[in-house]
């Protein structure tokens, strides 16, 4: 990402912080809608069949959507609760720990797959990519790699660059049997919130570019495309939050 674009994003972040201070509560409704969007988009990337409206009904009204899998309903409720915890955790004056990451995974999988919630993988994990089959670290390697990630997070500043790197590093380790992508996006957004940024949604229309960028990075092709996509999403999300904050009554 060019330095000028990063600087522009940082300027928007600073402006948003000033508007938040001057207009308390201005973004409450936007943040409520954003948490529903984050739940819908993150689960949709992983194959959930619920639409945005159906996700809203499941979470806000407790309605069961006819013809849709129970698993999709449970994942929506779990993810929405995890987002609420992320916002609470972001207010804590401390970086996320390895235990926090496992706790995030517990929340994400609590209802849909309680038998693996918060537990590191017990089996090999593989994914088919355009470059061939990719093997993630073995279960025996995961605890040490997660310890390294925790120590890195403890020392890293709460910047957008750190948030995107945390996402990619967690996906590279792939420490859980399922729910790695959702947990990685939550960790990314936890880091963004700690740094004063809004959380960002990777939308269904971004899915192909997002997965290809992750695969490119995993294949040793660098993280430029991955970071470019996420910076674009962050820039657009900042614009939405700034517009809402400016429209609020001073």
pLDDT above 90 (res 132): no
Apex 101 CA angle, 121 and 91, nearest 5: 170
- Whether residue 61 is contained in a domain is answered as yes
Apex 13 CA angle, 8 and 17, nearest 5: 145
- Whether residue 221 is contained in a domain is answered as yes
- Whether residue 116 is contained in a domain is answered as yes
Tell me which of 79, 105, 174, 241 is the catalytic residue: 174
Active site residue 134: no
CATH number at residue 201: 1.10.3290.10
Question: Which structural domain range is residue 106 located in?
Answer: 17-247
Burial 88-120 (b: 16+ CB within 10 A, else e): ebbeeeebbebebbbbbbbbbbbbbbeebbbeb
**Calpha distance 92→110 (Å, rounded):** 23
- Whether residue 167 is contained in a domain is answered as yes
Six-digit token pair at 220? 């040793």
CB count within 10 Å of CB 242 equals: 17
- Whether residue 124 is contained in a domain is answered as yes
Q: How many domains does the chain fold into?
A: 1
Q: How many CA atoms lie within 13 A of 154 on its CB side?
A: 10
pLDDT band at 114, cuts 50/70/90?
A: very high
DSSP conformation class of 205: G
Beta-ladder partners of 133? 128
**Calpha distance 166→171 (Å, rounded):** 9
- The average pLDDT across 203-215 equals 96
pLDDT above 90 (res 3): no
Report pLDDT digits (tens) over 165-178.
Answer: 999 999 999 999 99
pLDDT, position 130: 81
- The average pLDDT across 153-182 equals 98
- The average pLDDT across 49-77 equals 98
């Amino acid at each position: 990402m060019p330095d000028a674009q990063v600087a522009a994003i940082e300027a928007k972040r600073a402006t948003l912080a000033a508007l938040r201070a001057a207009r308390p509560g201005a973004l409450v409704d936007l943040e409520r809608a954003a948490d529903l969007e984050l739940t819908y988009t993150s689960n949709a990337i992983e194959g959930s069949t619920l639409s945005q409206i159906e996700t809203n009904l499941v979470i806000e009204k407790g309605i069961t959507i006819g013809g849709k899998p129970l698993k999709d309903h449970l994942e929506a409720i779990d993810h929405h609760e995890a987002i609420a915890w992320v916002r609470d955790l972001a207010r804590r004056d401390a970086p996320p720990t390895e235990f926090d990451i496992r706790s995030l995974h517990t929340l994400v999988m609590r209802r849909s797959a309680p038998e693996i919630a918060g537990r590191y993988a017990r089996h090999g994990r593989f994914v088919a990519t355009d470059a061939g089959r990719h093997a993630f670290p073995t279960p025996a390697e995961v605890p040490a790699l997660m310890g390294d990630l925790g120590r890195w997070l403890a020392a890293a500043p709460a910047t957008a660059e750190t948030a995107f790197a945390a996402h990619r590093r967690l996906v590279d380790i792939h420490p859980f049997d399922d729910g790695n992508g959702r947990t990685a996006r939550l960790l990314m957004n936890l880091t963004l919130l700690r740094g004063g940024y809004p959380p960002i949604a990777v939308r269904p229309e971004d899915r192909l570019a997002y997965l290809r960028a992750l695969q490119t990075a995993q294949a040793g092709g660098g993280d430029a495309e991955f970071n470019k996509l996420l910076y674009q999403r962050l820039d657009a999300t900042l614009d939405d939050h700034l517009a809402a904050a400016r429209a609020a009554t001073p």
